Amino acid sequence: MVIEVYEKEKQELLDICLEMVKHDLVIGSSGNASMRMGEHVVISPSSVHYTEMTIEDVVVIDLDGNEIEGTRNPSVETPMHLEIYKNREDALAVVHTHSVYASSMAALHKPLPPILDEIVSKLGAGIRVSKYAMPGTKQLGINVVKVLQDRSAALIANHGSVCVAKTLKDALFLSILFERACKIYLTAKQAGEPIELPEDVVEDEQDIWEMMKDF
Ligand SMILES: [Zn+2]
């Protein structure tokens, strides 16, 4: 069955993948991105360098991972994308990166504490690290969903990061924001011990996150 109705979405995905490269969040074909369109998911292909990727390389799958359209294999992290879509109704786009600072945190199994105002209201009150699982496995997806609860971002142990949002553009923006926050945290850590926001502020900002996630 061929459904050629996602041309616009495929182009958007392609553009976002190139932005991921431009912002130094990934290199080559590492990381991946997808957007949910009802019962279908438009996702980046496996093993195609983003700078060489064309709209024909983008894959459409259903929520069980069956290929609906495309000539390539979908991203190796497809099981994680599907686990997220099945468990987070508010997530309509997923961006997964191997960016330097977030991956450093992931290598340390170090959660990002709530140290910056803009981070808590946009990503949630402290970003957790998932339990380790092999790349490409359903278990990795299950572990990620667990720590992604009430948050827009998660660190994937010994691997990288993932951000979810209503749109791909927003998921990319959150990935850039998250990478910057990890950089700030690790930089501050070298000069001393970063101070967490007051508890009541964290609670208020988490409420703002809760409100904003549905817009
Ligand atoms: Zn990865």
Delimit the domains of the chain by residue range.
Answer: 7-212
Q: How far apart are CA 97 and CA 57, in angstroms?
A: 19
Catalytic residue chosen out of the listed positions 9, 12, 19, 77: 77
List all residues 6 or more positions away from 156 whose beta carbon is below 8 Å from its beta carbon. Answer: 96, 106, 129, 130, 140, 143, 144, 162
How many CA atoms, within 13 angstroms, populate the side-chain half-sphere of residue 147?
26
The fourth-level CATH superfamily of domain 7-212 is: Class II aldolase/adducin N-terminal domain (3.40.225.10)
Burial of residue 113, with CB atoms counted within 10 A of its CB: 0-12 exposed, 13-18 middle, 19 or more buried: middle
Those residues of the chain that have pLDDT short of 50 are none
CA–centroid distance, residue 204 to ligand 1 (Å):
33
Looking at residue 213, what is its pLDDT? 80
Looking at residue 68, what is its pLDDT? 94
CA–centroid distance, residue 32 to ligand 1 (Å):
7
Q: Alpha-carbon Rg of the chain, whole angstroms?
A: 17
Q: How far apart are CA 74 and CA 65, in angstroms?
A: 9
Looking at residue 4, what is its pLDDT? 61
Other C-beta atoms within 10 Å of 19: how many?
19
Looking at residue 3, what is its pLDDT? 52
State whether the Cα torsion 155-157-159-164 is positive or negative: negative
CA–centroid distance, residue 80 to ligand 1 (Å):
10
Does residue 69 carry a catalytic annotation?
Answer: no
CA–centroid distance, residue 69 to ligand 1 (Å):
23
How many CA atoms, within 13 angstroms, populate the side-chain half-sphere of residue 95?
33
Long-range CB pairs of 62-66 (<8 Å, 24+ gap) are: 63/39
CA–centroid distance, residue 148 to ligand 1 (Å):
16
CA–centroid distance, residue 158 to ligand 1 (Å):
10
